[in-house]
Amino acid sequence: MINVGRLVTNPKFCTKFTIVTKTGTWEKGAFVTTETEKTVTGVAVPVSGKALEMVPEADRLKDYMTFYSTTKNPLTVSSDGTISDSVIYEGKRYKLINGQNFSKQGFWKAMGINEDGK
């Protein structure tokens, strides 16, 4: 297997972004979340185009980004009742909606949607 993880940390391609991991517990009938932030070096690229969400009150453009990271704690997308990670990049927060494990090739990949809707 070719390890392409070095490309993800190459200064010609990489940037810094923050991975936000949420955990939660039930306390006195309310779900209380705790956030942990970790700044990593990786690659952030826009997904081609923006998606148009058509809802009764208005049409909205959704902003998507793809993130590549070599961090030991991969970009996590919920599949088992956990909370998906978010990524803060250039002042925007992206909720991860799709993730792929390429750890054998040296990286993780995840796609996120702008939570702010901007």
Maximum C-alpha span of the chain = 50
pTM for the predicted model, two decimal places: 0.79
Closest C-alpha to 45, from 33, 27, 29, 63: 63
Cβ atoms 45, 7 nearer than 8 A:
no
pLDDT of residue 49: 59
- Which residue do the tokens 């006195």 mark? 28
* pLDDT, tens only, 22-75: 888 889 999 898 999 999 989 998 887 555 555 666 655 678 889 998 876 677
DSSP string, 6-74: HHHT-TTT-EEEEEEEEEEEEETTEEEEEEEEEEEEEEEEEPSS-EEEEETTEEEEE-EEEEEE--SSP
